[in-house]
Amino acid sequence: MRPLQIGPDGWVDGVRRVRSPNCDARPAGTAVDLLVLHNISLPPGRFGNGRVERLFCNETQPAQHPFLALLAGLQVSAHFLVERDGRLTQFVSVDQRAWHAGASCFEGRSGCNDFSVGVELEGTDFAEFEPAQYATLARLTKALRAVLSLRAVRGHSHVAAGRKTDPGPLFDWRRFARQADLPAHWLP
């Protein structure tokens, strides 16, 4: 599999793009040095139905499921989504701020959206992630490292402790680090 490359516009070359309106400019002079991993499925535990994409594009259809009604009016996004089969979709340029971490803090700095890239893995806290997802995440992480000042990877649960639990207890941090060639001190 060929390596992924990020172009000068902050978009990964050759990857499916669906532009989310839920983004804005990063604060001037901010170095992007954190990768935040999440999990998502809508409704929880249901995969491959396009609802995450619709959420990130403000096109949620609340009448389709009671859980979706809870998300009506929510404006969120992530830079990337890695589906169960490893398919990668980009929603926001890495040069922009995606709205993925919410109230968050890393090493005393609040507002992690300002200085992070958010990757959603299609999944839940209660299901193992697929080998294809780890492979895609590793390829993406290598591409991000080539163009950004990344120095750490954390789960949403680490930057929003007590409020979030993702990517969940079944995410295999060691497997990810091995596949992405990450130094141990980058991980939680």
The catalytic residue positions are 120
Q: How many residues does the chain have?
A: 188
Q: Return the closest-CA partner of residue 109 out of 154, 43, 46, 67.
A: 154
Measured distance CA(128)–CA(125) in Å, rounded:
8
Is residue 186 within 8 Å of residue 153, measured between CB atoms? Answer: yes
A 10 A CB-CB count for 1 gives 7
DSSP 3-state percent helix, strand, coil across the chain (nearest 5): 25, 20, 55
Measured distance CA(118)–CA(149) in Å, rounded:
15
